[in-house]
Amino acid sequence: MSEEQTTGTLTSYLSFKMGEEMFAADVGKVLEILELCPITKVPKSPSYMRGVINLRGKVLPVLDTRIKFGLPKTEDDVDTCIIVLDVNMDGESLHLGAVVDSVEEVLELGKKDIEPPPSLGNTFNPEYIHGMVKREDTFIMILDVDKVFSTDELAVAKEAAEQKNREEKIEEKKAEKEKTETKKTEKAKK
């Protein structure tokens, strides 16, 4: 009982690095960490899908977290590795790999250590972030793993998302314009 209480207040998080940013994910969601291995690219799949790997006889889809998060692409190096995650997608458990720049450490955090994500001025979409933790001089963003990896969007970086939105809006406007134009011509024909 007492054990449960102590672990109940403290949760373990695995922190990893992407460029200069630090992220963390609930250890309960992490199944294992793999060294980077050859990844079979699947043609015609979304850009953030790195491909599939053979995980002891099972086919595991692997995402490129950098692209998913809207960060610039870099070359893989010795620190690059794959975190195998157990993601809940529409009520079903799904295993997938996420390529990250490097894995850092396991943090033991209590509830009070985690601050809610600031609603203003952050570069990342708060919808996918569980909270923030201050460590020395940097902030670590705790990800809502289920949400981040189960969406089809590449949408963690707000900027990227906004950029996309803007593009979409422009496209919509264009389409509307075209529609009205075709209508006009049709009317003219009539």
Partner 1 sequence: MEQFKKKFLEEAADLIAGLEKALLVLEENMDDKSVNEEVFRIMHSLKGGSSMFGFHKMDSFTHNLENIYDLIRNNKLKLSREILDITLEAVDHLKILLENGDELSKSDEKTHNELSGKINKITQNIQQSSNEPPAKAEAKTNEQNKPASDNLPAVDEIPTYHIIIKPFEKIFKNGTNPLLFIDELSSMGHCKVYAKTGKIPLFDKINPELCYVSWEVFLATDKSTDDIKDVFIFVEDSCEIKISKIADINLPAKSLFVKDLDNLMRDDDFCDTYKLKELAKTVVEKEKPDDELELTKAKNVTSLAKKTAINNIRVASDKLDNLMNLVSELITTQASLSLYAENNENTELTSIAENIEKISRQLRDNTFEICLIPIDTILIRFKRLVRDLSQELEKEIQFTAEGTETELDKSIIEGLTEPIMHIFRNAIDHGIESADERLKKGKPKQGKITLSAFYSGTNVYLQIKDDGRGLDAEKIRKKAINRGFISPDANLSYKELLNLVFLPGFSTAAKVTELSGRGVGLDVVVKKISDIRGEVEIESQLGVGTTITIKLPLTMSIIDGLLVKINETYFVLPMTAVDKCYEVKTEKLQNNFNNKIKLDENLVPYINLRKEFDIQDNMPDVQQVIRVKHEDQNVALSVDNIIGEYQAVLKPLGQMFKDLEIVSGATILGDGTIALVLDSGKITNTFDRETIKKREEVLKAKIDRENLEKS
Q: Which residues of the chain form contacts with partner 1 (CB under 8 A)?
A: 38, 40-45, 49, 52-54, 57-59, 61, 63, 89, 92, 94, 96, 179, 182-183, 186-187
What is the C-alpha separation between 21 and 124, in angstroms, rounded? 11
Least separation in angstroms between CB 139 and partner 1: 30
Contact predicate 39/103, CB 8 Å? no
- C-beta of 166 vs 183, nearer to partner 1: 183
CB neighbours (10 Å) of residue 158? 16
Least separation in angstroms between CB 110 and partner 1: 34
Least separation in angstroms between CB 179 and partner 1: 6
Residue at 145: amino acid letter: V
- C-beta of 50 vs 117, nearer to partner 1: 50
- C-beta of 58 vs 73, nearer to partner 1: 58
CB neighbours (10 Å) of residue 16? 25
- C-beta of 53 vs 107, nearer to partner 1: 53
Beta strands at 58-64 and 81-89: parallel, antiparallel or unpaired = unpaired
Q: Which residue is associated with the tokens 């449960």?
A: 4
